[in-house]
Amino acid sequence: MAESTKAEKLELINKRIRAFPDFPVKGILFRDICPILKDPKALTAVIDLFEEHVRQTCPQIELIVGLDARGFLFGPLLAQRLGIGFVLVRKKGKLPGPTVSVSYALEYGKAEAEIQEDAVSPGQKVLIVDDLLATGGTLGAACDLMKKQQAEVVGCLVVIEMTELKGVERLKPYPVFSLVHF
């Protein structure tokens, strides 16, 4: 069987994303990636496209940082393909041992994120992975955590980018790679 093209992979991914209006609050159109996870071909397509991008644009990457909770779904698979480690950025109070944390605003509230103090080494080149970029609050917080840890953020990867919310602007100067745009 012939390998799928980039366009075919993107079409498959796009078909597996569902929209739920007014979730988690009225006025938010939630983009659900659960059908991607249910379909092994769609999940493989996401990881294939992420891997291709990383190998072409930042082969010097040393560590994948995944955001709570959906970055945990894509990040370890990508890290395994690249032969590098994976670390977690979690919601406040979920990690054992000494942690470093930051507060940030979401499009519909506030939150705190943290990482274990020894998860990232100073100067380490990291790539941050999540499922969705909206206003950039969560990814921005992860970038701030990496800065506190003196790591070098090489870029951010997301499956979905909500372009009208301009989260990319908030993340400058860090490059963002998105598979699907709404």
Active-site amino acid positions: 70, 107
Q: Tokens standing for 51?
A: 């891997």
The single-letter DSSP state of residue 101 is E
Beta strand residue intervals within the chain, DSSP E: 18-21, 29-32, 63-67, 85-91, 99-106, 109-116, 125-133, 152-161, 176-181
Q: Within 13 Å and on the Cβ side, how many CA atoms surround 182?
A: 19
Q: Quick one: which of 49, 47, 59 has its CA closest to 84?
A: 59
